[in-house]
A and B are shown apart, each in its own frame.
Chain A
C-alpha cells in the first residue's frame, strides 16, 4: 500500500457516488474542450485561412449583391493580383441534402484559389461548358458522382426561367486540396456564373455576393481593404472588406456573439460542477471525521491530512477532466469529418493547457474547504464524536 493507493481507495469508497460525480466532471470538460475549441477557431483563426486574400461584400449584408462591373476597379488597386467572385447558389441534392454551391467565373476562380488541384483538362472543360459543374472530391465521393455524369441539383433560392427550381449540370471536374487541410474542405461545388445569369428566372445578371481579392506577395492587406472601402464609400454599392477569417467569423456571428455565448455556457457548466463536486467532497470528509482523527493519532500531521483530502479532490477532477478533454478531442475529429472539414474543432495545445489549468483550479475550489476542515479537526473531539 502507498499513499497514492490510500487516496485512490478513499476516492472510490462510495463507488456509485464517485462514478456519478466523475461522469459530471467528464461531461463538463467535454463541453469545455469543444466550446473552447470553437472560441479558439473564431478568435485566433484557422491555419488554412491566410491573409493572402480579402473578401469584399456589400456593407449592408453579404446577401446584398454587388455588381460584377466593380472588378476592373478592384483589379486596378496596387497589390491586388487577381479578382474573382462568388454568388451563393444554395444547392440541394435529391430530397433535402443541402450543398455548398456557388456560381463563379471559372478562370478567375482558379487564379484566386491555387489551393484547389484539378487536371488542366477539367479546368478547361469547366471554362467552356456553360452547364458545367465541378465538385470537391469529398462531395463527389459522398454522393457517388462520376465525371461526365448529369447531376440534377435544386436551388434553395433561384428558380429557372421555366419556374422550376430543379437545375441540371454536367460534372466536368472533380477537384482536391493541395494538402490535408484543404483536402478536408472538398465538400463544395461550383457552377458557371454565365449559366446562372442566363438561366435564373429573376433576370439577375452581373451580380455577385462577394469578391475575392487575391493579393500580390507582400501586399498590405489592411491598407488595401481601406482603399477598397474608401473607393465605394457614399456610392450605391458601399463595401465592407475584410480577411477571409474575419468574414467567416462575422458569418457565424449572425447567430450572436459566439465568444460571449461560449463564455457564459462555460461559466454555467463549471459553476454547476463546483456545486456538485464540492458537495461530494464535503460529504466525503464529513463521513470520515473519525478516520481522519485516527490518521492524526497515528502520526500524520495536520498538513498531511490536508494533503490527502486535496489529493483526493485533484484525483477526482483530474481523472474526469482528462477523460472529458480526450472525448472532446475525439468528438472534434468527428465533427470535422461530418462537416467535411468545414468546421475544424481541434483541441490544440492552448485548449489542453487551459483545460489542465481549469482542472487544477477546480480541484482547489472543491477540495480546499473540506481539506481545511480536515486539517483543523481536533483529535480528541473528533474521536469523541463532537
Chain B
C-alpha cells in the first residue's frame, strides 16, 4: 500500500520535525523532534505559552516555512520537499490562512480582498464574482461586499479574511490567533463560524490560540511547551 493510501484519513502528518532559526550568530531550536497527526475533518487548537513553537508549527503545516529536519505531509503531499514556487502554488489551492490582525488589503473592497486568491486561477471574471459572492454569503457579509476594510468592524474584517481563506475551497484552514484582536462576543461569533465550516463544510481547521475559551470550540487541544507536544486533550 502506498504511503498516500495509508494516510487517507490523515490530513496533516508531522513526523519528527525540528525547526532551528538563526538570529545573528545564535541558533534557536524552536521545535524539537515533534510528531503529530491531524485527521481529515478535525478541528484542533494549538495552545502553549509564548515561545512554545505554536506559530512555528502552524507555519510549517500551512507551507509558509520548511522544517530544518523531519517530514510534513498535508493531504498526502510532502510539502517539506517542495520548492518555494511549488509551495506557493500548493498554498493557493490547498490551504486558507486567517491571521490575528486580518491582513486585508486596505486598497481593496471586501469583495476585492476575497477575489484576490482567485486571480491565481483560470476562472473567468463572472465565475470569480460568483465564488466571491458565495464566500461572503457563507460568512454573512454579502451586504458589505463593496465596503473597504476601514469601513468594517474588527469582527467584519475577520469574516472577510475567513471568506478570503475559503474562496479557493481549500480543505485545510490555518488560523493564527483569529480572535486575538476581538472582544468576547465577536470572538465567539468568529469561532462559531469556524465550527460551522468544520461541521457542515468538512474543513480541517487548526487554530493557534492563547484563549482557553477559544480552544473550547475545537474538538481537540494540543499543548506545546518549549517546542514539544505535551499531551492531547479531547
Contact = CB atoms under 8 A, between A and B. Distances in A.
Contacts of B111: 1
Contacts of A290: 103
A299 B88 contact: yes
Given A301-B88, A302-B84, A291 B120 contact: no
Contact of A380 (B64, B92, B93, B117): B64
A291 B112 CA distance: 14
A299 B95 CA distance: 9
Contacts of A254: none
Given A1-B115, A9-B108, A13-B106, A299 B64 contact: no
A294 B88 CA distance: 11
B107 A9 contact: yes
A2 interface: yes
B186 interface: no
A383 interface: yes
Given A3-B119, A297-B91, A299-B120, A13 B107 contact: yes
B181 to A, nearest CB: 14
Contacts of B77: none
B85 interface: yes
B65 interface: yes
B97 A298 contact: yes
Given A1-B108, A13-B106, A299 B89 contact: yes
B65 A299 contact: no
Interface string A286-305: 00001100111111111100
A232 to B, nearest CB: 74
Q: Which of B85, B88, B97 has the most CB of A within 10 A?
A: B88
A299 B108 contact: no
Contacts of B90: 299
Interface string A278-319: 000000000000110011111111110000000000000000
Contacts of B97: 297-298
Contacts of A1: 108, 111-112, 115-116, 119
A379 B88 CA distance: 11
B99 A2 contact: no
Nearest to B97: A297
Nearest to A12: B107
B195 interface: no
Given A1-B112, A3-B119, A300 B88 contact: yes
A299 B117 contact: yes
Contacts of A295: 116
B117 A298 contact: yes
B112 A298 contact: no
Interface string B102-143: 010111100110011101100001000000000000000000
A373 B105 CA distance: 19
Given A2-B119, A9-B108, A291-B105, A298 B65 contact: no
B10 interface: no
Interface in A353-386: 379-380, 383
Interface string B60-101: 001011000000000000000000110011111100010100
A5 B103 CA distance: 19
A15 to B, nearest CB: 11
B35 interface: no
A177 B56 CA distance: 82
Contact of A297 (B64, B89, B106): B64
B107 A10 contact: yes
Nearest to B165: A298
Q: Which of A3, A295, A298 has the most CB of B within 10 A?
A: A298
Contacts of A12: 107
Nearest to B64: A379
Q: Which of A1, A2, A290 has the most CB of B within 10 A?
A: A1
A137 to B, nearest CB: 57
A6 interface: yes
Contacts of A294: 99, 103, 105
Contacts of B112: 1, 5-6, 9
B120 A300 contact: yes
Given A13-B106, A299-B89, A301-B88, A6 B65 contact: no
21 contacts: A1-B108, A3-B119, A5-B112, A6-B107, A6-B108, A6-B116, A9-B105, A9-B107, A10-B107, A295-B116, A297-B97, A298-B116, A298-B117, A298-B164, A299-B89, A299-B120, A300-B92, A300-B120, A301-B88, A302-B88, A379-B59
- Per CB-CB distance, the 3 closest pairs between chain A and chain B, nearest first, are A299-B92, A9-B107, A1-B112
Given A1-B112, A299-B91, 12 more contacts: A1-B108, A5-B112, A6-B105, A9-B105, A291-B105, A297-B64, A298-B92, A298-B120, A299-B120, A301-B84, A380-B59, A380-B64
